Amino acid sequence: TEDALTDQVEATGAKQGMAIITRPSTGEVLAMASVATDDEGRVHNTGDNRPVSTVFEPGSVNKMITVAGAMEDGLIDPDTPIDVPYQLLVGDHWFSDHDPHPTTTWSPTDILVTSSNIGTIKIAQMLGKEKVDGYLRNFGLGTSTKAFPGEVNGYMRRADEWSTTDIGAVPIGQGIAVTALQMLGAYNVIANDGVYVAPRLIATTDTGEGKELAAPSDRHRVVSAETATAIRQILAKVVTDGTGKRAAVPGYVPFGKTGTARIPQPPPHADPKDAYQDAAGRYHYESSFVGGVDGADLSIIVTIQDAQTSIFGGDVAAPVFAHLASLTLRHEQIPPPALLDASA
């Protein structure tokens, strides 16, 4: 995992990279790594476990939670028609999709496959800020898992503290901050048929009298198995038809979501008129892909910070996901589904 991150950070001229691989059903962390580029341009292990000790604004990978919550509450199904304009005024701020388009009727499936900001915001408005906030927290955001030393809580304001624009910003992954482990845990809910399973570091202990299994991870239901299945099917289309094509793993059915989030700049480096711009007026981005492999009990998150070749998670993070998934499937000896089908 560290080698794969190092190769991609070097190839893209990025500032840093992080990745985690887990077994969703048990919460076991199989691999965790973070690398960064130093002042002399060399990429090295960060030594500080950044996937749990640092936070980032998740961007579009956060959209899945809003769609899953609205589906669980019966407000939408995968094919519900929703009118999606290119721009939408929320509070005093105009939000827009990445690419201009006329007002279009899209389904929630289309909205996630195309990663529409406006479509996601309209679904969030149906759900309401209290429900959006509740689902984010139930999926595991905003609180440390307490599984690792140095782990932080992330950052989320309570719904009663939201500004008028937060119902637009938060569902699309801006204005909140998460650890990589928290974001992967949210996708593990979808992998686990709607059940959150807390991550864990230790599988067994041995004090000299034989191995003893660690206590099972805490778990709670977040959404129904039906909702989780529907979301997995949508996220599989993100890979086959949408922004995550480079996450494909031949012979398997990966599912997941791309994300591209602006990185807030700390004073005095920030533009006083826009905290996401540096003093030179440039934006910097956290590019992500998070998801799993259907039927394989495997999930992975990859984030690449400030890549110079592309800002998009589908370009810089998804290929690392595909590489790590291929390696792990082989390591765990999980055959392609077709090989388990006698007729195939």
Residues known to be catalytic: 60
User: What are the C-alpha distances in Å from 136 to residues 59, 64, 67, 74, 132?
Assistant: 13, 10, 11, 17, 6
256 Cβ contact partners less than 8 Å away, ≥ 6 residues apart: 187, 235, 238, 239, 244, 247, 289, 290, 291, 292, 318, 321
Measured over the CA atoms of residue 14, residue 254, residue 2 and residue 34, the dihedral's sign is positive
208 Cβ contact partners less than 8 Å away, ≥ 6 residues apart: none
- Which residue is listed with tokens 């599912």? 255
User: What are the C-alpha distances in Å from 197 to residues 39, 72, 291, 329?
Assistant: 39, 19, 15, 21
User: What are the C-alpha distances in Å from 169 to residues 29, 53, 60, 344?
Assistant: 30, 24, 10, 46
What 3-state class would DSSP assign to 79? coil
Beta strands in the chain (DSSP E): 16-23, 28-37, 43-45, 82-84, 87-90, 93-96, 104-106, 195-197, 204-206, 211-213, 219-221, 254-262, 270-271, 274-278, 285-293, 298-305
Eight-class DSSP state of 211: E
